C-alpha cells in the first residue's frame, strides 16, 4: 500500500470481512429461530441482546464504509483521507471486540475472529491510523487550521441551499435558541415565518403541490441539507420543523386520494398549515400495531375516543395526523388501523382545549422535558371528536391501511432524524473547538493537550461519517431502496450525537454544565434522538436485526 487511497480500499476490504462475520452470526440466529424450516419472528425475543449488538455492528461498519467511499472521492485531500482511515481503524477494532465477546452466543468461532487481529493489513491500519500520536496530529491540524467541517461534494445548487439555511440558523434561529430552551417558550413567529418563506416545509413535497421537490424524482438529499443546518441552529426551535410535514407528506403521497393531496399538500408546503403526528399511545410506545385509540363510524364521518402521547407540536399545529383503530377486532392487529387528518385551531402555550359544536373535544397538555423544548410534546385526549369521512387518508379505500401509510412516512422520518443528529453534532463540535482554542488551564490552552486533540479528531471523524452515511442513504432512497439503511443511519447517528455532545461538553469542563453554555442545551437535546422516530432498542431489534436475520442465508 503506497497511498491513502489504496489504504482506504484496503480498509473497505477489512470492513467487508467483519460484515461477513456479522451476517454469519445472523444466519446462526436464523437457524435457531426457525421451526420446520420457516423463520419464526416470535422466537427472536430470546435473542434480543445479540440482535441489538449485531444491529449496531452493521450500523458502524456501514458508516465507516460511507466515510471511506467519501475519502476516495478526494484523492488530493490528505487530511480528509487520514481522518476517514482513523475512523475506520477504530471502528474495525470496536466491532471486532464486540463480536469476540459475543462469539459463543452467535455461533462464531472465537479463534477465527482473533486471527483477524493478525491480518497484516488489519494490523497495519490499527498501528498507523489508531495510534495516539496519529490521532493527536489530526487534532492538532484541526486546531491550527480551524477545521469545522470537511469539504463538501454537494452540487452548486445544494451548496447554495445549505449556505442559505446556514445563514438563517445563525441570524434568525440562534439568537432565540437559549431563551426558548431555558424558559420552555413557544417557537416565535419570526422563525416559523422565516422558515416558511425559505420553503423548508416543502422540502419533501413535489413542485406540483407547491413544494421544493422535483415532480419527476424525490430529493431526500435536499431535505437532509436543510435539516442539518436548522438543527445546527436549534433542534427544538428549528431542526424538527421539517419532520412532521415530511411524515405527513409521505403518508399522503403513499395513500392519500388525489383530492386529499391537492387540498393538504399545498398548505403544508407553504407552511400555511402546521402539522403534528399523533401515533404513540400511553400503553403502546413504539409498538405501532398495538394502537387502540378508537375511531367509530358515525353519520358522514368518524368519532375519535381515547388518548395519545408524545405528540410533538400539537398545540401550534392546525392539522393532526392521527392513527386510530377503525376495526375493533384485536386479531387484525395493524390491519385494523386507519390514518386520519384531524383539523383544529392553533394554540400557544402548554395546554389547550378545542370543543366542537357537536360536543366533541380534544385536549392537550405539554409534557415537561429536559430538552427538545420549543415545539412541546403533548398528551392528548379525544372525546367523541368528529372527523369528516373525507379526512380518512385514502378515503373509503384507505380504511385499514393506516399502518402502511404511517410506515411510508416513518422511513423518511428516520433519515431525517439522522440529519437532525448531524446538525446537533455540527453545533456541538463547533462549540467544543472554539472553547478548546480559547480556554487556558495549567498555563496552556485546552487545545494544546494531547487528549483534547484526540477527542477533536474523533469527534470530527464521527460527524463526517454520520453526514456521509446519510447522504449515501438519501441516494438509495431516491432510487426506491434504502429502507433498511435509513434505520441503520438513524441508529448510528443518534447514538453518535449523544457521544459527541457528551465529549463536547466535557471539553468545556464546568462551564459545559452551566446553562449559559450552548453545549449544555445540545447535550440534553441530543438525548431525545435515540428515542423518537423509533426507539433505539425497538429499531435495532425489531427492524434492523430482524431484517438482517430473516434475510441471511
The residues annotated with a catalytic role in the active site are 533
C-alpha cell at 72: 476516495
Beta-carbon contacts of 146 under 8 Å, excluding residues fewer than 6 positions away, are: 433, 437
Task: Determine the angle formed by the axes of helices 402-438 and 483-508, rounding to 10 degrees.
Answer: 30
The rounded distance, in Å, linking the Cα atoms of 534 and 518 is 27
In whole angstroms, what is the distance from residue 318 CA to residue 78 CA? 51
- Candidates 495, 504, 552; CA nearest to 527 is 495
Q: Look at phi and psi of residue 381 and say left if phi exceeds 0, alpha if psi is from -120 to 50, else beta.
A: beta
- Concatenating the DSSP letter of every residue in 233-282 gives H-IIIIITTTHHHHHHHHHHHHH--HHHHHHHHHHHHHTSS-EEEE---T
Helix runs in 73-131, H state only: 78-102, 110-116, 120-129
**Are the C-beta atoms of 15 and 531 separated by less than 8 Å?**
no
**Residue 381 · residue 363 · CB < 8 Å:** yes
DSSP designation for 480 = T
Cell (9 digits) for 418: 439522522
> Can you name the residues that pair with 385 across neighbouring β-strands?
304
Neighbour count for residue 92 (Cβ, 10 Å):
25
Cβ atoms 505, 513 nearer than 8 A: yes
**What's the CA gap between 539 and 458, in Å, rounded?**
26
The span from the CA of 446 to the CA of 71, in Å, is: 29
Q: Give residues with Cβ within 8 angstroms of 111, minimum separation 6.
A: none
> Locate cell 495510534: which residue?
131
- Planar angle of CA 422, 425, 429, nearest 5 degrees: 140
Q: CA 239 to CA 72: how far, in whole Å?
A: 31
What are the cell numbers at 309?
402521547
CA distance 268 to 473: 25
Amino acid at each position: 500500500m503506497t497511498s491513502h487511497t489504496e489504504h482506504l480500499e484496503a480498509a473497505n476490504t477489512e470492513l467487508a470481512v467483519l460484515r461477513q462475520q456479522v451476517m454469519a452470526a445472523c444466519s446462526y440466529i436464523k437457524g435457531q429461530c426457525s421451526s420446520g424450516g420457516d423463520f419464526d419472528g416470535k422466537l427472536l425475543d430470546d435473542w434480543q441482546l445479540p440482535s441489538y449488538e449485531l444491529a449496531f455492528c452493521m450500523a458502524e461498519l456501514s458508516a465507516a464504509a460511507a466515510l471511506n467511499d467519501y475519502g476516495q472521492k478526494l484523492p488530493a485531500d490528505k487530511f480528509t483521507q487520514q481522518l476517514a482511515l482513523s475512523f475506520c481503524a477504530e471502528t474495525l477494532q470496536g466491532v471486532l471486540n464486540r463480536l469476540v465477546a459475543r462469539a459463543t452466543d452467535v455461533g462464531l468461532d472465537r479463534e477465527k475472529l482473533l486471527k483477524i487481529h493478525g491480518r497484516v493489513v488489519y494490523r497495519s491500519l490499527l498501528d498507523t491510523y489508531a495510534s495516539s500520536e496519529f490521532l493527536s496530529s489530526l487534532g492538532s491540524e484541526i486546531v491550527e487550521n480551524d477545521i469545522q467541517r470537511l469539504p463538501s461534494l454537494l452540487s452548486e445548487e445544494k451548496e447554495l441551499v445549505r449556505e442559505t439555511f446556514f445563514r438563517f440558523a445563525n441570524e434568525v434561529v440562534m439568537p432565540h435558541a437559549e431563551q426558548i430552551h431555558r424558559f420552555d417558550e413557544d417557537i416565535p413567529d419570526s422563525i416559523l415565518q422565516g422558515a416558511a418563506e425559505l420553503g423548508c416545509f416543502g422540502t419533501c413535497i413535489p413542485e406540483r403541490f407547491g413544494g421544493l421537490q422535483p415532480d419527476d424524482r424525490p430529493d431526500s438529499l435536499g431535505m437532509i441539507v436543510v435539516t442539518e443546518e436548522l438543527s445546527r441552529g436549534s433542534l427544538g426551535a428549528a431542526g424538527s420543523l421539517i419532520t412532521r410535514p415530511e411524515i405527513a407528506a409521505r403518508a399522503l403521497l403513499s395513500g392519500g386520494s388525489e383530492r386529499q393531496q391537492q387540498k393538504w399538500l399545498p398548505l403544508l408546503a407553504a407552511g400555511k398549515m402546521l402539522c403534528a403526528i399523533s401515533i404513540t399511545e400511553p400503553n403502546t410506545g413504539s409498538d405501532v400495531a398495538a394502537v387502540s385509540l378508537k375511531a367509530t363510524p358515525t353519520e358522514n364521518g368518524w368519532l375519535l375516543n381515547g388518548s395519545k402521547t408524545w405528540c410533538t407540536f400539537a398545540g401550534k399545529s392546525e392539522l393532526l395526523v392521527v392513527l386510530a383503530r377503525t376495526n375493533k377486532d384485536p386479531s387484525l392487529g395493524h390491519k385494523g388501523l386507519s390514518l386520519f387528518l384531524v383539523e383544529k385551531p392553533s394554540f400557544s402555550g402548554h395546554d389547550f382545549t378545542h370543543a366542537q359544536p357537536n360536543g366533541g373535544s380534544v385536549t392537550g397538555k405539554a409534557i415537561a422535558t429536559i430538552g427538545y423544548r420549543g415545539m412541546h410534546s403533548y398528551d392528548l385526549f379525544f372525546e367523541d371528536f368528529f372527523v369528516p369521512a373525507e379526512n380518512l387518508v385514502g378515503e373509503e379505500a384507505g380504511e385499514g391501511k393506516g399502518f402502511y401509510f404511517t410506515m411510508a412516512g416513518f422511513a423518511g422520518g428516520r433519515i431525517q432524524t439522522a440529519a437532525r443528529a448531524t446538525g446537533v453534532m455540527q453545533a456541538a463540535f463547533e462549540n467544543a473547538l472554539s472553547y478548546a482554542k480559547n480556554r487556558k488551564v495549567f498555563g496552556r490552552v485546552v487545545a494544546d493537550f494531547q487528549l483534547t486533540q484526540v477527542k477533536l479528531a474523533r469527534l470530527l471523524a464521527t460527524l463526517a461519517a454520520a453526514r456521509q452515511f446519510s447522504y449515501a442513504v438519501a441516494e438509495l432512497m431516491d432510487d426506491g431502496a434504502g429502507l433498511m439503511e435509513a434505520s441503520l443511519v438513524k441508529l448510528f447517528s443518534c447514538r453518535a450525537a449523544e457521544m459527541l455532545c457528551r465529549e463536547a461538553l466535557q471539553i468545556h469542563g464546568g462551564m459545559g454544565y452551566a446553562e449559559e453554555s450552548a453545549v449544555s442545551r445540545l447535550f440534553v437535546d441530543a438525548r431525545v434522538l435515540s428515542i423518537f422516530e423509533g426507539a433505539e432498542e425497538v429499531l435495532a431489534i425489531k427492524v434492523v436485526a430482524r431484517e438482517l436475520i430473516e434475510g441471511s442465508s
